[in-house]
Structure 1
Amino acid sequence: MKNPNLTTENFSSANRNYFIDFKRAINNSHYICITRSDKLLDGGYRRSNVVVFEEDFHFLVSAFSSLFHAAAHSHLEGTEYCDSQKIGSQKGIKGIKTWAPDMRPREKFIAHGTDALSDAELMAILIGSGRPNQSAVALCEAILKAVGGRLDLLAAQGHKSLSRFKGIGLAKSSAILAALELGRRMCAVD
């Protein structure tokens, strides 16, 4: 039996149709199926799918958050879009203080709470600053990318491993590792 859609969204652009389905799997877990359907010249369709499982939803949300964050700041460069890793290293981007107040991690945290921030933005609050040509958020995005977005793998890193990122020294690596250790201890109490 086909897995039922719990909800669906779709949109079309030119000869392409996109379907985003939220489904329940046989084992009662959930997943998102994104389907692109291209109309071919012969009248047929070519379909391609991407499936994201429930345990990876937070990675998908974080990736979209970073993507939209980078796109929101691309106007500083006069380009239509820019890669999220490049957002903090583009000329003309001086740092988070030049961003619109509602986009700055600390201000978002105060106004909307932790749920409004990506992991990179939370880490950026911890380290306080980036480098002359890279914002704290972009620096933290690079660190998270190196560990596949997994905080458990980040917590297993040492000072030397984190210090390989330009802009991360003993003080900033200590802040990151100390915060992760506090989180581990909090979970151990439960």
Structure 2
Amino acid sequence: EITLGGMLSDKILDAGQLPLRLGGLSHCFRTEAGAHGRASKGLYRVHQFTKVEMFAFTKPEESEAIHEEMRAIEEEIFQGLGIPFRVVDICTGDLGGPAYRKYDLEAWMPGRGEAGEWGEITSTSNCTDYQARRLKIRFRRDKGAKPELVHTLNGTAIALSRAPIAILENYQRADGSIDMPEALKPYLPFDRITPKI
């Protein structure tokens, strides 16, 4: 997200270039690995992980529609994988500094807690002009018009290692084997992971 947002620092775009949608593959680093109790141990909260990030620069009046579009992309990915999930519209008291509105997608994770729990797997945020103001990213509606700040949005399309956790836990069978989601089978040399006996 930081790299994609910074690409247009101190630029003035033409209105016709917006919305500008970008995607990127990045390695992320977190300092809080394992810091939030039993449910966060193992692969769920790690120091380093890889993710596919979505980023958009929009006119102010387009940002809410683009935010819904990004959320729909995240939903489509996890529907395609056959993972049970829910969408959480985060309350304003829980939003980070840049976010005006944020959605989390939480997958059902049967291995968490006593009887399974929901766990965040992706999120998408509408930051309105918060990031653009500092980065000085603007646009002009017409030639010679006064530049206005763009709105920026970001969302994680899919993150490793949380997506594999949801796949492993939701597709595991009583014999310990793990079926692969139909959407992944064309890309894998196997349909199932079986335990060695």
Could you state the TM-score of these two structures normalised by the residue count of structure 2? 0.22
Structure (1 or 2) with the greater strand fraction: 2
Q: Which has the higher helix share?
A: 1
